[in-house]
Amino acid sequence: MTRNTPTLLYLLVAAASLLLFSCTGQTKRRTPAADTIALAPCPRFSADSAMHYINEQCRFGPRVTGTEAARQCGDYLAGLFQTYGAEVEEQTFDVTIWDGSKLPARNIIARINPSNANRVLLCAHWDCRPWADNDPDEANHRTPILGANDAASGVAVMLEVCRLIQQQPVNIGVDFVCFDAEDLGTPQWEEDRWGSADTWCLGSLFWAKRASSDGYKARYGVLLDMVGARGATFSREGLSNQMAGHIVDRTWQLAGQLGYRQFFPLADGGYITDDHVNVNEIAKIPCIDIIPYFREGPSSFGPTWHTVEDTPENIDPNVLEAVGQTVVQLIYNEQ
Domains of the chain: 46-332 (3.40.630.10)
- CA-CA distance, 222 to 60, in Å (whole number)? 26
- Cα–Cα distance list, 162 to 46, 49, 85, 123, 258 (Å): 12, 12, 8, 12, 20
Please give the average pLDDT of every successive group of 10 residues along the chain, which has 335 residues: 41 35 33 78 98 98 98 98 98 96 98 98 98 97 98 98 98 98 96 86 98 98 98 98 98 98 97 97 98 94 98 98 98 94
Residues in CB range of 141: below 8 A, 6 or more apart = 131, 132, 133, 135, 187, 188, 189
Task: Order the strands of the 119-125 sheet from edge to edge.
Answer: 87-96, 102-112, 173-179, 119-125, 221-224, 287-290
Q: Which amino acid is at 87?
A: E
Q: Report, in angstroms and rounded to the nearest whole number, the Rg of the chain calculated over CA atoms.
A: 19
Q: pLDDT value at position 318?
A: 98
For 186-252, the DSSP string reads PPGGGHHHH--TT-S-HHHHHHHHHHHHHT---S-EEEE-S--BTT----B-HHHHHHHHHHHHHHH
pTM check: above 0.85: yes
Q: Which residues contact 88 (CB under 8 A, 6 or more apart)?
A: 78, 81, 82, 108, 109, 110, 111
